[in-house]
Amino acid sequence: MSRLIIPTTPFTDQKPGTSGLRKRVGMFCQPHYLENFVQAIFAAVPALQGNTLVLGGDGRFHNEVALQTILRMAAANGVARVIVARHGLLSTPAASHLIRLHGAAGGIILSASHNPGGPDGDFGIKFNAANGGPAPEALTDAMYRAACALHEYAISDAADIDLSQLGSHHIESTQIEVVDPVADYATLMQQLFDFDAIRDWLRSGHRVRLDALHAVGGPYAVHLFEDLLGAPLGSVRNAAPQPDFAGGHPDPNPASCPEMIAQMLRDDAPDFAAAFDGDADRNMVLGRHCVVTPSDSLAILAANARLLPQFRDGLPGVARSMPTSQAVDAVARTEGFDWYETPTGWKYFGNLLDAGRIALCGEESYGTGAAHVREKDGIWAALAWLNLLAAKRQSVADIVTAHWARFGRHAYSRHDYEGLSLEHGDAMLARLRGQIATLPGQQLGDLRVQAADDFAYTDPMDGSVSQRQGVRVLFEGGARAVFRLSGTGTEGATLRVYLERYLADPAQHGLATQQALAPLVAVAGELAGIAAISGRTAADVVT
Ligand code: G16
């Protein structure tokens, strides 16, 4: 075994997006591409030297090769110990937990989350810091700078490590420990929820359907829902992780899971269903005849927090990303706890969670989580809902209806315009920004603009400022249209239009979401010039 220094030249496109560096698999397969970015991580995080690193991925195509490369590079860069998941299969929330459990200096997670996988799909690499959370902007900027200045990387020429068996190995003087992350994660979940109550609820004839979409959540879901909670075998569907997610799109939302939605709208549907994404940090929650929006899910968990053992003492505060609906704000106002509005990206919750200012947070993009880790957590969210159902003994639909009756309904939808050219995406945002000053007071159809801005956030803990996080147009009566470009795509631009309308009158709570939002859709399209700039007349994906 020897440590090699390999000369390289920088790739100038290695700037991490909303959640790590995501590119087509082909890009990562080219010589030195992965190695350069990994070396940039070691350069930006000197604390890894002599310390512990957690490593794993969502099992997508190229994971296995990349894991072995990173093990060799960790050894050559002086990492003392690498904790790597068996088969390399590590969900993002479980990675966050392992970092915290072992006091690691950080973790590398190989995932492109909900993006498709396979040889023609996407690949990704992200770094989580010592608190278990996604690298903050200052750190990803440092990685980018290091990547741009790179002229060599260090790697050992050691042979591959067998990741199929638990045990300890060495590369150079680095200890490589292959662990079972499912067991550690399950232990954590059992500390947070009332497993006896959930077991009783399941035993009393309730049925559940969990869908892992052939991604990394499968083994975690089988162990928790079937082995530990006693749900019948087969309650977890698509449980075996596949490198290409069996050709599917591992994105838990109504557009990607039409069969599941159709089943849950039938009279003989299970009582509860949930799906998880590629790295098991996202979740979609459904009940019989009921699709719960992620924004409502967050608000309902907040309103019922004291029923969950994890929040027995109440919530200090909650946070949501800016485009997420204001449903949770209404709960916080009524219940008397603080709420925060942060930019899109889980990394912005980290400081608030670390400081104990919030204990629960969520995003419209099917992310919900709490202070037990520093990531959103799909399986945790499903367990939280099951615990709620067990405690309330009401159906999902009844819980949602009662919530709306108490707090009003925030009808909500996201319209995505995918595969735009970068120029068109930028032109729409520029057009919106150009109108900000003159919009307030304007009457647009039935809607009157109250305020408009380009969202900026000052972190209350460290004072860091994040500018230009999306254009918000706020209308009188609580409606909003929010516009931003996706930071997780790998090609062209995706315009996300987030639409929200507040319906106080219970007589309107039964309105179909798209019908309730139709006037707003038209106004938003005009404001961004979607048809004028791109020729598009309808969104590609509506969730
Ligand atoms: C990532 C972040 C999320 C964020 C989402 C937004 O999700 O972790 O916090 O809400 O991106 O994506 P976009 O920029 O495309 O709107 P994930 O699950 O892909 O890691």
Q: Which of 344, 377, 457, 498 to mutate to test the pocket of ligand 1 (most atoms within 8 A of CB)?
A: 344
Distance from the CA of 508 to the center of ligand 1, in angstroms? 31
Q: What is the model's pLDDT at position 487?
A: 87
Domain termination residue (choose one: 180, 214, 246) = 180
Determine whether the shortest distance from the Cβ of 344 to ligand 1 is under 6 A: yes
Q: How many domains does the chain have?
A: 3
The predicted pLDDT at position 72 comes to 98
User: How far is CA 15 from each of CA 41, 92, 210, rounded to the nearest angstrom?
Assistant: 12, 20, 35
Which residues, other chains included, contact 169 with Cβ-Cβ below 8 Å and sequence gap of 6+?
161, 162, 175, 176, 178
Sheet holding 167-171, edge to edge: 21-24, 122-128, 106-110, 52-57, 81-89, 174-179, 167-171
Q: Residue 372: give its domain's CATH number.
A: 3.40.120.10
- Last residue of one domain, picked from the residues 373, 392, 407: 407
> Could you tell me the distance, in angstroms and rounded to a whole number, from the CA of residue 324 to the centre of ligand 1?
12
**507 CA → ligand 1 middle, Å:** 35
373-429 tens-digit pLDDT:
999 999 999 999 999 999 999 999 999 999 999 999 999 999 999 999 999 999 999
Q: Which residue has the tokens 């996706």?
A: 486
Q: Under 8 Å CB-to-CB from 165, ≥6 apart: which residues?
A: 86, 178
Q: How far apart are CA 285 and CA 396, in angstroms?
A: 9
CB 80 within 8 A of CB 179: no
Which position has the token pair 């590629």?
Answer: 278
The predicted-structure confidence for 471-495, as pLDDT tens digits, reads as follows: 999 999 999 999 999 988 888 999 9
The reply to whether 196 and 221 lie within a common domain is yes
Residue nearest to atom 10 of ligand 1 (CA): 345
Whether the per-residue pLDDT at 4 is higher than 90: the answer is: yes
Q: What is the rounded distance in angstroms from the CA atom of residue 310 to the CA atom of residue 370?
A: 9
Residue minimizing CA distance to atom 4 of ligand 1: 345
Ligand 1 site, residue 486, Cβ cutoff 6 A? yes
pLDDT at res. 500: 98
Q: What percent of the chain is predicted at pLDDT more than 90? A: 98
Q: The domain that contains 421 carries what CATH number?
A: 3.30.310.50
- Structural domain that includes position 62: 3-180
* Helix H or strand E encompassing 519: helix 513-528
For the chain, what is the mean pLDDT? 97
pLDDT of residue 118: 95
The structure's pTM equals: 0.96
47 and 162 both lie in a single domain: yes
Is 115 close to ligand 1, i.e. is its CB under 6 Å away?
no
> Using 50, 70 and 90 to split pLDDT, how confident is the model at 18?
confident
Q: Are residues 123 and 196 in the same domain?
A: no
Q: Which of 137, 251, 342, 365 has most ligand 1 atoms within 8 Å of CB, for mutation? A: 365
From 150, 180, 210, the end of a domain falls on 180
Contact status, residue 404 vs residue 245, Cβ threshold 8 Å: no
Tell whether 105 and 167 lie within a shared domain.
yes
Residues 498, 252: Cα–Cα separation, whole Å: 18
Is 286:254 a contact under the CB 8 Å cutoff?
A: no
Ligand 1 centroid to Cα of residue 498, in Å, is 14
Answer yes or no: are the C-beta atoms of 375 and 197 closer than 8 Å: no
Q: Are residues 167 and 190 in the same domain?
A: no
- 200: closest CA among 230, 233, 232? 230
* H helix count then E strand count, the chain: 17, 27
Average pLDDT in the 459-466 region?
A: 95
Scored b (16 or more CB within 10 A) or e, 379-398 reads bbbbbbbbbbbbbeeebbbe
- The beta strand positions in 337-394, using DSSP E, are 338-342, 360-363, 367-370
Assess whether the C-beta atom of 345 lies below 6 angstroms from ligand 1: yes
CB distance 385 to ligand 1 below 6 Å:
no
Same domain, 43 and 173: yes
Same domain, 336 and 216: yes
**Sequence letter at residue 482:** V
Q: What pLDDT shows up at residue 54? A: 98
CA torsion 162-163-166-169 (nearest 10°) is 50
| Same-domain check for residues 165 and 201 | no
Does 174 share its domain with 111? yes
Q: What is d(CA 527, CA 521) in angstroms, rounded to the nearest whole number?
A: 10
Cβ of 122 below 6 Å from ligand 1: no
58 lines ligand 1 (CB under 6 A): no
Q: What are phi and psi of 458, to 5 degrees?
A: -110, 120
CB of 126 within 6 A of ligand 1: the answer is: no
156, β-bridge pairs: 3
| CA–CA gap between residue 496 and residue 493 (Å, rounded) | 10
Query: Does the active-site annotation cover 113?
Result: yes
Quote the ligand 1 centre to 193 CA distance (angstroms).
26
Q: Whose CA is nearest to atom 2 of ligand 1?
A: 345
SS3 assignment, position 259: helix
Q: How far apart (Å, rounded) are the C-alpha atoms in residues 358 and 349?
A: 8
Catalytic residue, candidates 96, 113, 325, 413: 113
Q: Which tokens is 321 given?
A: 């990303």
Per-residue pLDDT of 102-125, as tens digits, reads 999 999 999 999 999 999 999 999
